[in-house]
Amino acid sequence: MDFFSNTMTIYITLAAVFGIFMAWGIGANDVANAMATSVGSKSITIKQAVILAAIFEFAGAYLAGGEVTQTIRKGIVSLDAFQGNVDLLIWGMLASLLAAGTWLLIASLKGWPVSTTHSIVGAVVGFAAIGVGTDAVNWSKVGSIVASWIVSPLLAGTIAFAVFTSIQKLVINTAEPLKNAIKYGPIYLFMVGFVISLVTIKKGLKHIGLDINGGMEFFYAAIAGIIIALIGIWLIRRIKYDEGAEKRFHYANVEKIFAILMVFTASAMAFAHGSNDVANAVGPMAAVISLAESGELASKSSMPSWVLLVGGIGIIIGLATLGYKVIATVGKNITELTPSRGFSAEIAAATTVVLATYTGLPVSTTQVLVGAILGVGLARGIAAIDLRVVGNIFMSWVITLPAGAFLSIVFFFMLKGIFV
């Protein structure tokens, strides 16, 4: 036990520093693209995006992030391979955080919307397979995660296509678009409230000692959806319509309504993102802290509250400092976004991510959102999409897994050399 008693403080300190660095990268890249549709469609400003993200990212992480955190901490690597070699797992998790954070910094500076989930999963698989042995990787779990990366953007794109097509038929392509926007807007808001509330009740309230089941979760989620819809009705009634703008652009006032609705979907997307992606930073971080304090491979370990706080703070700083580059790529360059189009993409992306969180799969929020934006673009025709930008995004996705793995292997052997 001398190994742990002499180095425990060093490991916990490194875990906190690398965890903040990784969380900063998540904010600069992933939270930025989660907020990109709202900012790109001019529904909210960067400052408002940071405030909404600060509130709802943390709420999502704290209330609904537990399932995915467990997958990152224990699902990808087989703990049996580290029996008697706990130090290897600590070095590996530290290397994974540093590798993923470094790649996210590079990608964010380039304005590439890469996946933090790809980054951390690639990093964990890299150190485990090369640094320890292929038996250390739970390949069946990795396979299900990779499959979700294919399924999730397709699902998000399909939902976004359906939502935007319904908006076109019910609102935009009608004789009275403004009247119909006022009529149907609250129904879409009910959908947002219902989905987010359902995953919070089902997965999140257990963390604070409340376990609601037996069908009651659907009842409470419906109540929450109705409340959000009523708030939406109140806000829509307060809109001051511009008749001059309406003459220049027939749908100017309709888009004002969807801009109001996007405040809710931006909040929902931040909540969904926090529930899924905070695990990428705090999962390995919590694993290192648990191992350093106990020196044992425990099947269950508690998540210190300060770990989530560190993750939340790092994410918000990342968004505020470097997020504008990725926001420009996703929010403006793939396809022209208006509030109605951005609303469709965000409601689809948020629904997909909370469904993934519900099942414990760490999907890529980046891929989900880009898939949703492509779905909206396709609803307007293939010519509405900038295929060159999409090609660059796909290329950055392909590079991310091997980049995360390579950097993780390098950092793993560096840490091993320092501490042995």
Residue 354 predicted with pLDDT over 80: no
**4, pLDDT greater than 60:** no
Question: Domain range spanning residue 38?
Answer: 2-419
Give the model confidence (pLDDT) of 89-106 as tens digits.
889 889 999 999 999 999
Give the pLDDT confidence of 169-214 residue by residue, as tens digits: 998 888 888 888 889 989 988 988 887 777 667 655 555 555 666 6
Higher pLDDT, 69 or 407: 407
Cα distance between residue 111 and residue 418, in whole Å: 34
Sign of CA dihedral 255, 257, 263, 268: negative
- Residue closest to 118 by CA, chosen among 94, 82, 152, 86: 152
Q: What total of structural domains would you count in the chain?
A: 1
Residue 248 neighbours by CB distance under 10 Å: 8
State residue 98's pLDDT score. 94
The distance of Cα 180 from the centroid of its chain, to the nearest Å, equals 32
Contact 395, 102 (CB under 8 A): no
Percent pLDDT > 90 in the chain is 8
Cα(42)–Cα(35) distance, integer angstroms: 11
The confidence score (pLDDT) of residue 1 equals 46
Instruction: Give 125-169 pLDDT, tens digit per residue.
Output: 888 888 778 877 878 777 777 777 778 788 888 888 888 889 889
* Mean pLDDT (whole number) for 25-52: 78
The reported pLDDT for the residue numbered 362 is: 63
Which one, of 204, 373, 341, lies nearest residue 272 by Cα? 204
Give the model's confidence band at 121: pLDDT under 50 very low, under 70 low, under 90 confident, else very high: confident
Nearest to 28 by CA among 94, 123, 100, 109: 109
Residue 31: its pLDDT value, please?
75
Cα 375 from chain centre:
18
DSSP assignment letter at 206: G
State residue 211's pLDDT score: 63
Distance CA 15, CA 356 (A): 27
Cα gap 44→36, rounded to integer Å: 10
* Separation CA 212–CA 259 (nearest Å): 34
Lowest mean pLDDT among 37-41, 55-59, 71-75, 320-324: 71-75
Q: Note the pTM of the prediction, 2 decimals.
A: 0.77
pLDDT at residue 276, rounded to an integer: 65
Q: What is the pLDDT of residue 213?
A: 66
